[in-house]
Structure formats: C-alpha cells, structure tokens
Amino acid sequence: MIGIGVIGCGYWGPNLIRNFNSQPQAKLIAISDLDEKRLNQVGLLYPDTRKTANYEDLVNDPAIDAVVVATPMSTHFKLGMAALEAGKHVFIEKPMATNSDDCRTLIAAAAARNLKLMVGHTFVYSPPVRMIKSLLDDGELGDIYYVNIARVNLGIFQKDANVIWDLAPHDVAMLNFLFGAEPVAVSATGHCYVQKELGIEDVAFVTLEYPGGRLVHIHVSWLDPKKIRTCTFVGSSKMLVYDDVSPSEKIRVYDKGVDVQPHYEGFGEFQLQYRSGDVFLPHVDTYEPLKAEAAHFLDMIQDKVVCQSDGTHGLKVVEVLEAACLSLKDDGRRIALELIG
Amino acid sequence: MIGIGVIGCGYWGPNLIRNFNSQPQAKLIAISDLDEKRLNQVGLLYPDTRKTANYEDLVNDPAIDAVVVATPMSTHFKLGMAALEAGKHVFIEKPMATNSDDCRTLIAAAAARNLKLMVGHTFVYSPPVRMIKSLLDDGELGDIYYVNIARVNLGIFQKDANVIWDLAPHDVAMLNFLFGAEPVAVSATGHCYVQKELGIEDVAFVTLEYPGGRLVHIHVSWLDPKKIRTCTFVGSSKMLVYDDVSPSEKIRVYDKGVDVQPHYEGFGEFQLQYRSGDVFLPHVDTYEPLKAEAAHFLDMIQDKVVCQSDGTHGLKVVEVLEAACLSLKDDGRRIALELIG
Amino acid sequence: MIGIGVIGCGYWGPNLIRNFNSQPQAKLIAISDLDEKRLNQVGLLYPDTRKTANYEDLVNDPAIDAVVVATPMSTHFKLGMAALEAGKHVFIEKPMATNSDDCRTLIAAAAARNLKLMVGHTFVYSPPVRMIKSLLDDGELGDIYYVNIARVNLGIFQKDANVIWDLAPHDVAMLNFLFGAEPVAVSATGHCYVQKELGIEDVAFVTLEYPGGRLVHIHVSWLDPKKIRTCTFVGSSKMLVYDDVSPSEKIRVYDKGVDVQPHYEGFGEFQLQYRSGDVFLPHVDTYEPLKAEAAHFLDMIQDKVVCQSDGTHGLKVVEVLEAACLSLKDDGRRIALELIG
Amino acid sequence: MIGIGVIGCGYWGPNLIRNFNSQPQAKLIAISDLDEKRLNQVGLLYPDTRKTANYEDLVNDPAIDAVVVATPMSTHFKLGMAALEAGKHVFIEKPMATNSDDCRTLIAAAAARNLKLMVGHTFVYSPPVRMIKSLLDDGELGDIYYVNIARVNLGIFQKDANVIWDLAPHDVAMLNFLFGAEPVAVSATGHCYVQKELGIEDVAFVTLEYPGGRLVHIHVSWLDPKKIRTCTFVGSSKMLVYDDVSPSEKIRVYDKGVDVQPHYEGFGEFQLQYRSGDVFLPHVDTYEPLKAEAAHFLDMIQDKVVCQSDGTHGLKVVEVLEAACLSLKDDGRRIALELIG
C-alpha cells in the first residue's frame, strides 16, 4: 500500500482526494489546506484520514510515500520541493510551475533522490485523447497536415495569469502526447480587452510548429458567447474532429480528403480528386480521466509503467507557454524552441 | 430604361443575368461568352436578348448603358477598361482586379469619363449583413472588441490563386462595410499542403487591425471536413454570432458579457461581473442579395444612392489581400496599411 | 426513343419535364397546361417541344408513347384514364387518385390494354431510402420493432385535403417499399385547429401495423415551428435515424440496443444487457431522385425492370389513406385493412 | 426549526437529504434505509444526524415534524400512512402510490389529522417549467392548440412498471400544473418488445384531452437511440419548444403562426397568413429544482404557501396513469376521466 497525502482542498483537490482514496493500491493518509473550515468540510467524507492545516506535518509524515500538490500554481514549486526533500514521490497539478527553471530544479531534485515526479495533465489520460492517440499511431488519418483548436468561453478571468497560461496547457500537453514530440517553434498574438489596465490578455492565438511541418493553431479566449472545445485534425487520408463539449459524440472521423495524383508533368495536368465518404463516430469510454491518472501515478511509483506526463513532459509544456508569452510581447515573432529548451 | 450587357455566362454570370433581367428599371440587351455552346444554352431563357461570342460587339452596342463583367478575375481589368473606354458604366465581380494598381487605373478611368464603377461584393447586400450593420450602428453590441471568422470547407482548390484571394475578399468587404473603415495593419500566415509543389496556400490565418483597436481574426481553408461560415462579434455589451450556413438561424445576439466596475483603487479591488442573459434570433429577410445588388447598381447610375461597394471599396479590399500575401511571404510580419494604401 | 408528353406545368411539372428531357432513352414531344402564360414560360427552355393548352391534343399525339400526369390530385383519374384509353403508358403523380376505386379502375384499364402504369412516389427512388432498404434487407438492424416518424412544419395549409392526404403518402409509400409489405391495420386521430370551420385536420397521428408486429407511428402536422423530417427505426440489433432535413448527415446507424439473455427461469433472473457502441454515418449519394424515377419509368416501359411503384403500389397507399381517414372520423378506431383492400 | 426525517437513501434520497439539510428553516434529524451499508455511507456527510435501519424509529421520533419518503413506489403508501398516523407531515416521491385508491386514503388520513401532504413532482419546481407557466399565464402564446412531447431514451427497463408509469408522471404533473386543469379524457397505445414475456410495455403513445380542446400527445419509450426530452407547445399566437436535454438553450419561443382572417364568406375567400418572425431564447435560471421543492414543502407546513403539488395533485396524476393503462389494455379506447376521478 502506498501512503498518500494531498495538499490543497480547493476546487480541484477533492477530485484528487476521492480518486486516490478509491485506488486499491493506495491509502489516503492525510489531507491539508490552509483554510481549516474547507479542510474539515472536505474531510467529513474521510473520517480515518488525518487533517492538518500545516503542510509540513503532512510532508514529514512517515506513513506517507507520495505527496499530491493541488494548490495555486504559484506554490507548486515550493510545495513540490518540500515534498521531494522529505523523500516523497510527487504529483503536481498543471502547470508544473510558473517558469521552466523551477521545473528543471524539481526534475533534478527528484532525480538526485531517485524519486518519481508526475504532472497532472489530465487530458493525457482522458478516453477521447487516448482514442485519438491510437488512431494517429495506427496511421488512420495519414500524415497530419495541421490541427486547429478552439478553447473559448465566457470567463473565468484570472488576475495572476493570462489566458494562455490558463487554457493552453491542456492543448500543449495533449499535442505533445499525441505527436510524441515537442514544438520546434512558437508564435502568439494576444489582446487585453476586459483587464486592459492589468495588462492581462483575455484572447490569444498561438501557433505551434511540430517536426515534419505539422502545424497547430490554437485560439484561447475568455471572451466568447459559447463554450467551445474543438480540435480539428486534418490528415492526408482522413480528418477528425474532437468536440469535448459534446456529451455523447466527442469524436468524428471523416473519410474526406483531397488526393493528388502522384505523377503529373505540368501545371495544366495537375489533378485533384475529392473524397467525401462515410463519417464514423466511435464509441468512447466514459471513465473518469482522473481515476486513470491516479492509477498511473501509483503504477509509476512501483515501476510498472513509463510515465506519460512526467516532470520532463511538464517542463516541455511550460517551455512552450514561456515562449508563447515572449512572442506575445514581441508582436507575434516566431520563437524557435531549440534556443530555449 | 437602362440597357444592360453581361459578359460571362459561366458559374456566376447566369445569376447576374437573371437578376438584371428582372429589374423594372433595366433592359437586358446582350450577353456574351467565349464558349458559344454555353452562351446559347444560357440564352434560351432570354429569346429577345442578343448573344455574341465577341465582347467587343457588346461593349460597343449603343443600346447598352452599363456593362456587367462576370469573367475570371484575370480578365476583370481588361474588360472593365474596354467598357469604360466605350463610355459604359461598369459593374465588376469581386475581386475587382489582381492587383491594386489595376484597381486605381479603373477608378481613374471611370472618374475621367464621369462613369459609375461598382464591384460585386454581394455580402454587402445580403440580409444578415445588413441586419448586423444596423445592430452595430445602433450600438447594440457596445464597442466591438474583436471578430473571429472561420470560412473553411473541403475544396475547391484553385490553381491560380491562393485561399486568401479565393475566400477572404468576402470577409474584408463585409468588415470594411460594417465598420465603415479599413484596416490599419494586416498580418497573415499560411501553408501549402495539397498543392505544395505549386506553392499555393490552402490554409491561412489572417489578422486585421481596424482603427480603435478592433481586431479581426480570419481562418480560411480549403482543407476542412465541414463547411463552416461563422463570424463571432465580441462587443463590450453583447456578443453576436453570424452563421451563414444555418438555413434559418443565421444571427444570434447573446446578452452576455463581462462588466468591469468603473472605479477601483488596487489590484485586489478589481471586480468583474458576468452577465449571461437572453439570446435573441432576429428574423432575417430571405430575399436574394444579388437582386438588391443589381437594383443598387441601377440606382447608382441614376444618382439615387451612394454606392456601398464602389471602385474605392473594391480597391481597399484588394489592398488588404495584397498586404496579407506580402505578410504571408515574410513569416507573418505585421504590414501597416498606410504605407501601401 | 420513347416519346413523352407531360400534362401540368405547375409547381412540380417542370421538374418532371426537365428530368424526362434529359433521359437518353426519351424524347420530350409535348407539354400541356391550362394556363397558357405558365405553359409558354416553362416552354422557353424547350424550343423544340410542342406546347398545347388542350390536354387532348397531347394525349392523342401519335408521336407520344407515354403520358406524365402532374396536375392537381382531383384530375389524376380523368387524365390518367384519357391517356390509357388513347393507348399511352401513364406516369401519375402521387397520390394516385382521390379514392381507391378510381385506382382500381386505372389499374384495370392499363392491364386490359397491356400498358404500363406507374405512380410518382419519389421517395422510393431517393438515395437515403435506397440505402435504408439495403441495410434492412441485409439484416443490419435485426428485426424491426417499430418506426417513429415526424413530418411536421408550418403550413402549407391545403383547402381540399387534410394533412394526412397531403403529407402521409410519402411515409406510407416509403414503408411499403422498405418492408415489402402493406399494413394490416391502421388507426388515426387528428385535429382541426386553423381550418376548424372547414373541418380540415391540420395535425394528425397515424399508426400502422405491419405484418410481424412491426409498428409505425407517424406524426404529420402543418402547425409546428420547425420543419422536421425524421424517421427512427428501432431494430433488435441496431437503430437507425433518417433525417431528411439534414443537408449532409441524413442517415445515422446506432450500434445500440438491449439484449435479452435467451434463457431464464423466473422473474428475478430476467437479465438485460445494454449496448451502446459506435455510430456510423454512411455516405449517401446525392443524385436527384426524380432522375432515377424517370429512368425507372422508361425501363419499365421497355420491360427492363419490375416497377417499384406501379399502380398496385399506388393503390395500396391510397387504401391506407382512406382507412386512416375512416379511423379519424371514428375516434381513432383500429381499421383492419383486409376488410378494405 | 422543522425537524426532518428522510426514509430511503437509494438513488434519489441523498439529493433530498442534501437539500433539506441545507434549508435554514429545517433541521435534518434522522435518515433511514434498510441497507445499513448504504445508510452509513450516505450518513458520513451528516455526522450529527441519527441513522436507523428501522423506519419506525424515525417515524416515531418526537424531534421529527415531517417525514420524507424516497423509497420504491410500492412502499409509498405504507410508509406515508405510517408517518401520517404518527402525526407527521409527509412528503412522498412521485408517483404518489401504485393506485388512486391508496392516494385517496393518504389524502383523507392527512386531512383528518390536519397534516400536510405533498408529492415530489420536481418538474413543477424546475426553472424552465416555471418560466413556461409564466409565459402561458401572460397569454404570450395565445390559446394553446396542442402540445407534443417526446420523452425517450435507451433504457432503463423497469421490471415492475411499464414505461408509462416510469416516464409519463413527469409530463402529466407538468401539464396539470401549467394548464391549472386536469385531462377530461385519456387514450394510450403501447407495445412490449424487449420484455414481451413479462408483458411490460417499453414504448407507448398517450393522448390527453384537456378542457378547451387542448390536446397533448406524449411519446414515452425505453427503446430509442437518443435521449430526447422535448415539449412543443403550439399556440394561436406563438409556439414554444422546451428541450430539457439542451444544457443552455432549454426554451425557444418562436414568433410563428398562421392567422386566419376573422371574416370570410365562402370557401374561396378563406384566407391564411403565415407569420415567421423572431426566435427568443430567454435566460432560464439554473437553481436546483429540488432546493425550491424542499423550501416549498417547509413553507407549506408553515402555511406560507398553497402547495402546487399536494396530495390532490398527486392523485390526479395517478388517475391519469391508471386510465392510460386501462386504455392500453383496450386497444387505445378513449377513457373519459369524469367516470373515474
């Protein structure tokens, strides 16, 4: 049994607590939150679990093997380091930290002590993303030309992070996982409308270039009348639309495309053929991604799996966000990532 | 009665012929096409109209007061000039010409002869766009923050123009009309997937900056599984989505937004209030835009109206397309339009 | 070459004229309409075709082998008989006649002269219905439990026929074709709202019982805010929804159902298993049904095919409509069709 | 403070427990369930509340003023009577009982002791239904012609009740509330497909006639590929569609209809005018209906409100269900409700 302690009982923490508590391989030893009222309320469901307002008590509890950090982004580094220094494996919510240097320090600290470090990029463990991964790996779509993503809705405006840091981590983590690769260049433009005086962008367009010419265009916004979560994958053989808002039809595979005749000798003879065939909506499992994520962390600790969102994966996401914000401040200049990563 | 001659009986020409023929102020005198078979087939419906394969016959017909040019883009300039030089008013299909210099020459030629010159930017005359114009002018949406446009579908790939020249003229003409202004800067990125060897972009993202910080982001593509035609207008008071593909619900006005409290003294006191109210789908007339467009041209000739898509309007569209393609070739560099226009 | 004459240039006639004219096996000899202005207008496209306001001229034209009747329902019988008596094959628009006795007289008249008689039940020739037929025949859905149909919209109110005679012929013809069988019983309820004083039902619910316990429930209405054309086929293996209003996704096959375990011994052991699998949207051809229908009639004349909507098929539809109206006047009483047919 | 006891911790009970617990006017004294494991699990969140597997302990607890019955339908009568006899106010989940006689006994028992009796017809308290009620009462739709309802999905098949008893109570309770009236006649047809051997209908069509000729047609089914919950209200002035499955657009008011000219003198002069105007999607509150329902019960106990789903309301629903099943067994015969009610 792996002893688990969770720091943070806010919006997301209770979901992690519930899912780690239900794992047969784990035992929920302690939970912590600065807000004692919140801590006790969440704690009601776990009468045998220790509650403490002091995260140091939790981090130093010898019954705890692994610490889960589900606090605001700005405290990820401090709490993650404290847990690693106390010899615990660490699971940190996304984004891993507020900058890539902190990520590197966390990775080095874990490596030095031979401890595991995982980042909570939930989408990597969600059923539709797993299904897309398997379709891509099977070559079902052919070569991927480009991906177009909209992740927009009304609010919630953050005061300490712009819309890229708030919404884009999901997309970058998902794409790095799907492509098994990281972007070679990033550019971004963004605009401050509602929080103009704070200089916080609420609308942004981010472009990622992956190896092999695969392009990703991401529109993130807190200023849209409808909640939209669509990713359109355009491949040389087929096209796929992933609509995460749809309750029952999240993935559509279109047998559509344009075929270029392989040989032609001049401008006039260049021939295209349009294909417009069946549409297929595969059944997508409906398990809770967090449950798979929690199990994955426990498996990782026991060396049963290679982690799909480890510290390095988390770092790569933060590097892209950093570069995107650099580009944002420089009129959308293309930032090559080799120079940074 | 205004005598009308139409050059071009291809895909679009017959619609213009039909609509000019049905105008009580006009008489269809002649139609012309290089393809005699096509000319005669289209001509069956107009037994009293002269048919000629030679456009010069048409242009020099003294019974004709105005010439309508509905031929491929590359011939717009030559045919438009010929008609103007023969003393005819001229209606040219969009885009006005293949470059802005040709547009300026046409404008000057019309002005020198005191002739009318109009460009067939149909969207300017379409019922949903007229309704949006009136909502914007009434201040219904408040200040416009930004507009996000998707104009994508599968094909039809052109061989002599990229996707920007093919699809974006609609959007630029519409926005210049709606805002009563032209962009101050343009940037664009684009990609060649299917016609890589011809170097013709099939996917592009264009950003327009209008005076007052209004931003427009346009996604045009020939490589998408679904036909999408949506324009989202985000205003300080309300938001509007215009979906031109929807058969009966083209316009939705959302009483949604974020209100910033006017006075605050520090970071912590900055307060936002979300509004999520009714949605209104106004009834949109269903008349054919071309009919209004044809009537507008005839009214213009008789000095009854100020034209809403005259030569200068057509030129401004072409200038934006030129600048977008310049940016495209230069890694998405921002092109200020004062330098060009 | 089969010489064709078409009587009726109203709403539907021109479509038949156009499609018969384009058939390589046929020659359009004459068209007829009482309204000479309409006749001449429609005739413009067919300069070599004879136009006559007198249908007798057409019916007696020796160059004509087959007559197409596309006039109001109340004249179908008289015109069909005239053509048959003149020795012509006959194609009559749906519904075949205003009562089943007239249908039988037409069938007998054709048989006596060895002439062909076909009814224009277009849906039988439409691509989505052909696809459903082939899925049903292949057993893809298993046994059909029931079919639920909505055919509703706002208007157009008829003054000489109720909503059942106006809208239900499509459904009855389609189902008789799909099942290769006719209903054994019919019941219907209906209501007069808008034309209460004329006693014309504008809303009705019709239930058809087909052999093997297959049930069909049809909702027809002229009083609905949205145009709806959906048929849901519930089978023991799969379910299918046919949405004729959808421009590009007319057919959806759901791999969904409930499986009953074959053996069980008591109430408590009765076990059900729910299946909720993939959804499949087959590509449906987009040819014009009328073109296939016209070709089918010509093939029938040449004894190349067995007609799928011959006089008997048309009669069976009229019998169901008659029985439905009988039930309507008798509080929804179930009418067994053996007693009538 | 009103002391509350809740019997039943199954699927629905915990929602009632949570909502009564959060009411400032009430105190949750005890909860009960035969399944002790379930009782303790649910009870974790309410450490100060008494748990008992014996409902008699709860019913006789002097600290309890009102008892909430959230058990299977077949036990409603016994538990409701026990609570009334112990002098407690009673809230019973829907349907009130398995037959109307039991309902009448419950009503009499409450009246004799001057106790309150309410049935948990949640839809009566749901925000969209409240909004429709206010639109109808304001005459916004004009006279209601008819209502068409679909309440269909795949499963869950019941073994002790047919699809009418399972799904139709929602609709009957909603309509009785909206119209402030009860049906004068009922008819129903139904079919057993999956549970044929048990004789349990899984698909049914129910027709209700309300005073003033208002008709309601209800389709209930456990055998449909999609979850559909739509009610279309067709009125003489406007039409309204209530889609309970839509997450954000539950109500659409269509300014559509057909106007009959008031005076006409003969068949030929009968004139209809179609109206097709704006569509309005009012913002619908998103509070939890159960919270309003719980508050309503507490207000009722304190004589602050007249109950909108009291025992008589619950009885009227059961009478309709009984009559519908009678009709079902008699080939859809129309059952007048005066004879029963």
Evaluate if residue A77 carries a pLDDT over 80.
yes
One domain for residues B193 and B277: yes
Give chains near C: 3+ CB pairs under 8 A.
Answer: A, B, D
pLDDT averaged over every residue in chain C:
94
Give the per-residue SS3 of chain B.
Answer: CEEEEEECCCCCHHHHHHHHHCCCCEEEEEEECCCHHHHHHHHCCCCCCEEECCHHHHHCCCCCCEEEECCCHHHHHHHHHHHHHCCCEEEEECCCCCCHHHHHHHHHHHHHHCCCEEEECHHHHCHHHHHHHHHHHCCCCCCEEEEEEEEEEECCCCCCCCHHHHHHHHHHHHHHHHHCCCCCEEEEEEECCCCHHHCCCCEEEEEEEEHHHEEEEEEEECEEEEEEEEEEEEECCCEEEEECCCCCCCEEEEEEEEEECCCCCCHHHCCEEEEEEEEEECCCCCCCHHHHHHHHHHHHHCCCCCCCCEHHHHHHHHHHHHHHHHHHHCCCCCEECCCCC
The pLDDT value given to residue B261: 66
One domain for residues A221 and A240: yes
Last residue of a domain, one of C57, C82, C115: C115
Residue D92 phi/psi, 5-degree rounding, is -115, 135
Which tokens go with A63? 């019954």
Distance from CA of A282 to the nearest CA of C (A): 4
One domain for residues B326 and B179: yes
**How many other CB atoms are found less than 10 A from the CB of residue D7?**
25
Evaluate if residue A267 carries a pLDDT over 60.
no
Inter-chain touch D47–A45, beta carbons under 8 Å: no
For D282, nearest residue in chain B (alpha carbons)? B278
CATH code where residue C23 lies: 3.40.50.720
Residue that is written with structure tokens 């704070």 in the block: A198
Please, which pLDDT band fits residue B268 given cuts at 50, 70 and 90? very low
The pLDDT value given to residue A340: 46
pLDDT digits (tens, 9 = 90+) for D147-173: 999 999 998 899 889 999 999 999 999
One domain for residues A158 and A203: yes
pLDDT averaged over every residue in chain A:
94
Q: What is the b/e burial string over A219-249, where b = at least 16 CB atoms within 10 angstroms of the residue's CB?
A: bbbbbbbbebbbbbbbbbebbbbbbbebeee
Comparing A197-201, B297-301, D136-140, D175-179, which segment has the lowest mean pLDDT? A197-201
Assign C2 to helix, strand or coil.
strand
Find the CB nearest A249 among C277, C279, C283: C279
Sheet holding D26-32, edge to edge: D50-52, D26-32, D2-7, D66-69, D89-93, D117-120
The pLDDT value given to residue A203: 96
Evaluate if residue C231 carries a pLDDT over 70.
yes
Assign A274 to helix, strand or coil.
strand
Report the C-alpha gap between C122 and C308 in whole angstroms: 11
Which tokens go with D81? 């009577």
Task: Domain of residue D173: give its range.
Answer: 124-286+318-336
pLDDT digits (tens, 9 = 90+) for C130-149: 999 999 999 999 999 999 99
Please, which pLDDT band fits residue D340 given cuts at 50, 70 and 90? very low
- Name every chain C residue with its beta carbon within 8 A of the beta carbon of A131: none
- Does residue A87 contact residue A60 with C-beta atoms inside 8 Å? no
A280 touches chain B (CB under 8 A): no
Could you tell me if residue C14 is inside a domain? Answer: yes
Evaluate if residue D111 carries a pLDDT over 80.
yes
The pLDDT value given to residue C341: 43
Give chains near D: 3+ CB pairs under 8 A.
Answer: A, B, C
Of residues A270 and A295, the one with the higher pLDDT is: A295
The pLDDT value given to residue C275: 86
Could you tell me if residue D291 is inside a domain? Answer: no
The pLDDT value given to residue C262: 57
One domain for residues A130 and A278: yes
pLDDT digits (tens, 9 = 90+) for D310-323: 999 999 999 999 99
Please, which pLDDT band fits residue A262 given cuts at 50, 70 and 90? low
ipTM: 0.92
Distance from CA of B317 to the nearest CA of A (A): 23
Find the CB nearest D279 among B249, B255, B277: B249
B270: nearest Cα among B280, B279, B260:
B260
Contacts of A11 (CB under 8 A, 6+ apart): none
pLDDT digits (tens, 9 = 90+) for C83-98: 999 999 999 999 999 9
B185 touches chain A (CB under 8 A): no
CATH code where residue A194 lies: 3.30.360.10
Report the C-alpha gap between D203 and D193 in whole angstroms: 8
Structural domain count, chain D: 2
Last residue of a domain, one of B56, B81, B115: B115
Residues 16 to 55 of A: which have CB under 8 A from any D CB? 44-45, 47
- Does residue B179 contact residue B214 with C-beta atoms inside 8 Å? yes
Could you tell me if residue B341 is inside a domain? Answer: no
Could you tell me if residue D299 is inside a domain? Answer: no
Could you tell me if residue A303 is inside a domain? Answer: no
One domain for residues B107 and B188: no
- Does residue C201 contact residue C185 with C-beta atoms inside 8 Å? no
- Name every chain D residue with its beta carbon within 8 A of the beta carbon of A45: 44-45
Last residue of a domain, one of D115, D143, D164: D115
Please, which pLDDT band fits residue B262 given cuts at 50, 70 and 90? low
Inter-chain touch C45–B44, beta carbons under 8 Å: yes
Evaluate if residue C339 carries a pLDDT over 80.
no
Could you tell me if residue D80 is inside a domain? Answer: yes
The pLDDT value given to residue A266: 44
Longest dimension (CA), chain B: 77
One domain for residues A103 and A164: no
Distance from CA of C297 to the nearest CA of B (A): 27
Q: What is the mean pLDDT of residues A109-130?
A: 98
Residue that is written with structure tokens 């005359």 in the block: B125
Could you tell me if residue B295 is inside a domain? Answer: no
One domain for residues D160 and D138: yes
- Name every chain C residue with its beta carbon within 8 A of the beta carbon of A278: 280-283
Inter-chain touch D191–C145, beta carbons under 8 Å: yes
D127 touches chain B (CB under 8 A): no
> Of all residues in chain B, what percent carry a pLDDT higher than 90?
87
pLDDT digits (tens, 9 = 90+) for B83-103: 999 999 999 999 999 999 999
Evaluate if residue B252 carries a pLDDT over 80.
yes
One domain for residues D30 and D170: no
Q: What is the mean pLDDT of residues C143-165?
A: 94
Evaluate if residue C20 carries a pLDDT over 50.
yes
Give chains near B: 3+ CB pairs under 8 A.
Answer: A, C, D
pLDDT digits (tens, 9 = 90+) for A308-332: 999 999 999 999 999 999 999 998 8
- Does residue C152 contact residue C245 with C-beta atoms inside 8 Å? no
Could you tell me if residue C294 is inside a domain? Answer: no
One domain for residues D75 and D141: no
C336 touches chain A (CB under 8 A): no
- Quote the pTM value: 0.94
One domain for residues B21 and B150: no
- Name every chain C residue with its beta carbon within 8 A of the beta carbon of A283: 255, 276-279
One domain for residues C103 and C200: no
